[in-house]
Amino acid sequence: MAEFRPLANPAPLGLGGFALTTFVLNVHNAGILADVGTALPLGLFYGGLAQLCAGLLEFGTGNTFGMCAFGSYGAFWISLATLVYFKDNNVLPGFKDFHGALLWTLIAWTIFTFIMTIATFPKAKALIVVFVSLLILFILLDIHVITGSAGIGHFAGWEGIWTAFTAWYLMAAELINPAFGKEVLPIGAPK
């Protein structure tokens, strides 16, 4: 008979990749940091690749929501970083409408995030907060790209920073609570 070995919880890896990359990009969006050069490699590797890995590991645990969230948002970060790289380095010279491409990409991710947010409602309150915050961030980014308003862009940046902290909190709870064998950081687990 095969020995059963429980899998490690991949959620902290995915949440960490999401939170850190979201934080760095939105420090720029909020107007705190002028150069966003670190966001590209973070988007490819920690926000992108690490979240993809977390999604694959969630598949192994049977967590469809975690697989879909981490796998999809990992792909989001990789595609966003690639899109920005292509634009900044004129990789696709015929690519003229970056603004339109970004807008429709963000709108599509807003729709996806809305669906994912609804799927969080029977789950822990901390997860709901992460996804509601992320949905608000995407809506603000949509409005910013449509209007070109620097003020809305900065506000979206601050919302993104908040979103990162909500994900870091949940990541911390996923690491700290099992380490102590009790709920040190409450997450509002469903009854």
Looking at the chain, how many residues does it have? Answer: 191
Which pLDDT tens digit goes with each residue over 17-74? 999 999 999 999 999 988 777 888 999 999 999 999 999 999 999 999 999 999 999 9
Q: Is 105 exposed, middle or buried (0-12, 13-18, 19+ CB in 10 A)?
A: middle
Q: Which two tokens stand for residue 87?
A: 């634009």
The reported pTM is: 0.94
Domains in the chain: ranges and CATH: 11-176 (1.25.40)
DSSP string, 103-152: HHHHHHHHHHHHHHHHHHTTS-HHHHHHHHHHHHHHHHHHHHHHH--HHH
Q: What is the pLDDT of residue 1?
A: 66
pLDDT of residue 180: 98
pLDDT value at 12 more than 70: yes
pLDDT in tens, 147-190: 999 999 999 999 999 999 999 999 999 999 999 999 999 999 98
Find out whether 54 and 79 touch, Cβ atoms under 8 Å. Answer: no
Asked if residue 112 lies in contact with residue 123, where contact means CB atoms within 8 angstroms, the answer is: no
> How high is the pLDDT of residue 174?
98
